[in-house]
Amino acid sequence: MNVYQHPSDLERSIDALRRDLLLEAGPQISTVRNYNFAILPYAPDREFWLRQRVQRLCSELRDAGWTTGTIALHSLLLSRLRLQGADFVEELIAREKRAWRPNDPGRGLTLLKERIVNLIEGPEGVAADVVREVERILHENTDADRTVIFLGRAGGLYPFLRTSALLKHVAGHTQNVPIVLLYPGKVVGESGLSFMGLLPADRDYRPRIYR
């Protein structure tokens, strides 16, 4: 089975996530001790709907006394590219154009990936930026027990970095605050996820998948 979340199923998944966060005994979005992550998959073409729905969820959580934070992964990627200098992005664009061939349209993207991946992968890449943002949110809000953080705009990492690799390096550096990854992609089988519905299914995920 290889499907996107149906809108009604996605709405139910969001409701289930809210209930699990607001449990009287404390948030329970994960069945793995000291690994307080969850994944909410959605069809990429539902991006704008999902953002609005997550904003509403955040409002509901704040009304219940929670602190909510959102980390935009595409912004972290763009910040890393800008740090390379004013001409870096223009150089990347020009390089991809030069590499394009009618009989091999993916050649330019392959060269682009080789250049960008080195900047964003591993524990010192975007994962380090996520950890820094988590620390900032927690520093500004002292009640870590009633804080939830959403990782959004993950589509900006495609096709340079798999989110499973990102979570591996973030794990252990979040003070066990609930982290919810908003995942644009398909659910494959019982535990597989296909990033953007385009990459081969990745089953290297430990977090609970709300589906």
pLDDT tens figures, 153-172: 999 998 888 888 899 999 99
Task: Give the confidence band of 149 by pLDDT, cuts at 50, 70, 90.
Answer: very high
> Does 62 score more than 90 pLDDT?
yes
pLDDT at 202: 78
**% of the chain beyond a pLDDT of 70:** 95
> Does 183 score more than 90 pLDDT?
yes
Contact 210/40 with Cβ under 8 angstroms?
yes
Q: In the CATH hierarchy, which fold is given to the domain comprising 2-82+126-209? A: Rossmann fold (3.40.50)
Tokens encoding 199 = 């990459």
Q: Among 52-56, 112-116, 124-128, 168-172, name the one with the lowest average pLDDT.
A: 112-116
pLDDT at 6: 63
Read off the pLDDT of each residue in 193-211 and give the average, rounded to a whole number.
Answer: 83
Task: Give the confidence band of 201 by pLDDT, cuts at 50, 70, 90.
Answer: confident
pLDDT at 50: 94
Handedness of CA 82, 154, 171, 17 (dihedral sign): positive
Between these two residues, 157 and 1, which has the higher pLDDT value? 157
> Does 129 score more than 90 pLDDT?
yes
Could you give the count of Cα atoms lying within 13 Å of 4 in the half-sphere of its Cβ? 16
Reported in sequence order, the residue ranges of the chain that DSSP labels E, i.e. its strands, are 2-3, 37-42, 67-72, 147-152, 179-188, 192-195, 208-209
Read off the pLDDT of each residue in 39-65 and give the average, rounded to a whole number.
Answer: 94
> Does 2 score more than 60 pLDDT?
no
- The H-or-E segment that residue 58 falls in is helix 47-63
Condensed to tens digits (0 to 9), the pLDDT of residues 63-117 reads 999 999 999 999 999 999 889 887 888 888 888 888 778 787 777 778 888 888 8
Q: Among 46-50, 147-151, 198-202, name the one with the lowest average pLDDT.
A: 198-202
